[in-house]
């Protein structure tokens, strides 16, 4: 992404300019339309180079995983790269028969296994062998990586996807002269996905969890923090899912998730680059209108109950000690949301934030000190997160208390106007840089449209930031950064834990 260097003095003049004049300018370059089936498009014209960025935003993430199927949204993300009835197969008719046979045997295997203690071990082993053979046969009809290879052969770059708590995103870039090919390929993978190699890919997803969570101290700490902080709301589940759920995914479950959440009214597509909006509308009607309309799904009905006191959790790990401190906060549409963003920058704005200057630079008790104003997502009430990495010879307890001292200082002494203006200028610059790339624009337009009901919030959010006062920062710190809404997670070495246990037994 190209970075534009702009002085803070100039940036301080931008709020009214960017919130008024630039919105009007962008409105001239943005075209919105909604197909009859409910699929919404936001198209941004930028003709500087003959390239186009595409971003498909599905308003479904891990919070929408059904009970017992955590990680299924992430699993479908993997399936969306497997091709269609015409892409990725040597003979779809025979492949379909082979895939159906896999499910038939799997049904019999599950039926026997579900007998519990009455299950016949020999029958289970025989069915397991039949299942492996049926999967191997189905996989013989697959042309591996055909879908991504087709995109790459036509000049596509940056092909990727991601599943978060709140959404699933698909994106890549194409040359201008491949615009119609994108409409064809993207519409087909949503209209006609073939869940080939499902159980092979299930193993891949399970390995991802092993690598990112079970073999990662940071991953284990994040999982423990969320499972402790949220007693009921599905934010307690990581996007990758729990191991036992992943290991037992069935193809029909993924298909049901797809049918419920991948309806046109739950998908927003952003296009940014060298395009003609009229042509985009014509191609959208031609290719995406085939997606059948369906009822827009609703989010989880579970509401997190109020927290009545501090929660703490330890994670045993031989790695470098570190800790996370999280406070309950309201969702992204709350009127105080911009205040949390400013507060996050005050505390952890790179090398100027209070956490870095006091804990890392001056006291040298931390190797790293960070803050995240909205974690793990923003669609529902979430967490204001601190992450601390103690320096050698310093403990998590020492870092924890030092962090609390900084928080208390914010509660009693207002941040200076000089600091506040510097923070606001930096945040405005960040928005400007984001708008400088096609991919950043395509992503931002879809995200803001879905989460705030209007892509213009991307610009008016700058005005919201500019309205934040020192009183607001102090008020929010006092209202939300309180022990009653706090969850603390930290690592402890196995040796230290054994030592404390032995000491307690000796007493």
Q: Is the peptide bond before 376 cis (omega within 30 degrees of 0)?
A: yes
Cβ atoms of residues 337 and 381 within 8 Å? no
Taking only the tens place, the pLDDT of each residue in 184-203 is 999 999 998 999 999 999 99
Tell me what the mean pLDDT of segment 436-452 comes to.
94
In angstroms, rounded to a whole number, what is the distance separating the alpha carbons of residues 376 and 237?
A: 10
Q: Cα-flanking dihedrals φ and ψ of residue 151, to 5°? A: -65, -45
- The β-bridge relationship of strands 267-273 and 40-45 is parallel
In angstroms, rounded to a whole number, what is the distance separating the alpha carbons of residues 273 and 109?
A: 51
Cβ atoms of residues 173 and 439 within 8 Å? yes
Taking only the tens place, the pLDDT of each residue in 112-143 is 999 999 999 999 999 999 999 999 999 999 99
In angstroms, rounded to a whole number, what is the distance separating the alpha carbons of residues 313 and 486?
A: 12
How many angstroms separate the Cα of 415 from the Cα of each of 354, 407, 462? Answer: 11, 12, 20
Handedness of CA 255, 258, 263, 269 (dihedral sign): negative
Q: Which pLDDT score is estimated for 1?
A: 33
Taking only the tens place, the pLDDT of each residue in 262-303 is 999 999 999 999 999 999 999 999 999 999 999 999 999 999
- 26: confidence class by pLDDT, cuts 50, 70, 90: confident
Q: Which pLDDT score is estimated for 319?
A: 85
Phi-psi region of 439 (alpha: psi -120 to 50; beta: other; left: phi over 0): alpha
- 505: confidence class by pLDDT, cuts 50, 70, 90: low
Handedness of CA 428, 433, 436, 439 (dihedral sign): negative
Taking only the tens place, the pLDDT of each residue in 239-251 is 999 999 999 999 9
In angstroms, rounded to a whole number, what is the distance separating the alpha carbons of residues 44 and 51?
A: 12
Q: Cα-flanking dihedrals φ and ψ of residue 344, to 5°? A: -65, -40
Q: Is 466 helix (H, G, I), strand (E, B) or coil?
A: helix
Q: Which domains does the chain have, with CATH numbers?
A: 51-89+142-287 (3.30.830.10), 311-506 (3.30.830.10)
Average pLDDT, the chain: 92
Taking only the tens place, the pLDDT of each residue in 308-330 is 999 999 999 988 899 999 999 99
Q: Which pLDDT score is estimated for 321?
A: 93
In angstroms, rounded to a whole number, what is the distance separating the alpha carbons of residues 266 and 167?
A: 10
Cβ atoms of residues 290 and 365 within 8 Å? no
244 burial via Cβ count (<10 Å: 0-12, 13-18, 19+): exposed
Cβ atoms of residues 486 and 326 within 8 Å? yes
- 494: confidence class by pLDDT, cuts 50, 70, 90: confident
Beta bridge partners of 370: 387
267 burial via Cβ count (<10 Å: 0-12, 13-18, 19+): buried
Q: Which pLDDT score is estimated for 503?
A: 56
Q: Which of 210-214, 280-284, 428-432, 470-474 has the lowest mean pLDDT?
A: 428-432
The secondary structure of residue 67, as a DSSP letter, is T
In angstroms, rounded to a whole number, what is the distance separating the alpha carbons of residues 284 and 289?
A: 7
């Amino acid at each position: 992404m190209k970075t534009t260097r702009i002085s803070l003095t100039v940036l301080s003049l931008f709020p009214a300019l960017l919130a008024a004049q630039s919105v009007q300018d962008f409105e001239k370059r943005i075209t919105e339309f909604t197909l009859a089936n409910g699929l919404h498009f936001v198209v941004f014209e930028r003709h500087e180079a003959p390239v186009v960025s595409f971003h498909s935003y599905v308003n479904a993430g891990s919070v929408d995983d059904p009970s017992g199927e955590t990680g299924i949204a992430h699993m479908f993300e993997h399936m969306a790269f497997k091709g269609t009835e015409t892409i990725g197969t040597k003979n779809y008719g025979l492949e379909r028969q082979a895939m159906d046979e896999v499910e038939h045997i799997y049904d019999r295997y599950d039926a026997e296994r579900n007998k519990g203690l009455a299950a016949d071990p020999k029958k289970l082993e025989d069915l397991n062998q039949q299942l492996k053979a049926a999967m191997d046969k189905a996989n013989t009809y697959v042309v591996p990586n055909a879908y991504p290879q087709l995109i790459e052969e036509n000049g596509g770059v940056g092909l990727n996807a991601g599943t978060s708590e709140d959404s699933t995103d698909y994106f890549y870039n194409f040359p201008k002269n491949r615009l119609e090919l994108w409409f064809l390929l993207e519409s087909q993978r949503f209209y006609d996905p073939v869940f080939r190699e499902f159980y092979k890919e299930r193993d891949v997803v399970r390995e991802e969890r092993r690598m990112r969570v079970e073999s990662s101290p940071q991953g284990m700490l994040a999982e423990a923090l969320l499972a402790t902080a949220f007693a009921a709301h599905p934010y307690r589940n990581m996007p990758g899912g729990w191991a036992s759920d992943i290991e037992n995914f069935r193809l029909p479950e993924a298909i049901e998730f797809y049918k419920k959440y991948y309806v046109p009214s739950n998908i927003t597509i952003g296009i940014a680059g060298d395009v003609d909006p009229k042509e985009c509308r014509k191609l959208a009607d031609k290719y995406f209108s085939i997606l059948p309309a369906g009822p827009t799904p609703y989010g989880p009905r579970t509401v997190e109950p109020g927290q009545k006191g501090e929660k703490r959790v330890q994670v045993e790990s031989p790695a470098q000690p570190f800790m996370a401190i999280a406070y309950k906060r309201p969702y992204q549409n709350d009127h105080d949301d911009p205040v949390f963003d400013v507060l996050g920058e005050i505390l952890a704005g790179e090398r100027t934030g209070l956490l870095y200057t006091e804990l890392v630079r001056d006291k040298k008790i931390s190797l790293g000190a960070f803050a995240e104003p909205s974690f793990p997502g923003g669609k529902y009430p979430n967490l204001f997160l601190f992450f601390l990495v103690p320096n050698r010879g310093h403990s998590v307890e020492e870092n924890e208390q030092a962090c609390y001292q900084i928080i208390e200082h914010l509660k009693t002494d207002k941040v200076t106007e000089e600091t506040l203006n510097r923070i606001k200028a930096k945040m405005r610059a960040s928005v400007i840089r984001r708008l400088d790339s096609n991919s950043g624009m395509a992503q931002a337009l879809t995200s803001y449209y879905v989460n705030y009901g209007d892509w213009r919030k991307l610009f008016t959010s700058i005005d919201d930031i500019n309205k934040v006062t020192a009183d607001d920062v102090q008020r929010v710190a006092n209202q939300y950064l309180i022990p009653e809404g706090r969850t603390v997670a930290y690592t402890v070495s196995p040796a230290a834990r054994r030592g404390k246990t032995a000491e307690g037994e000796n007493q």
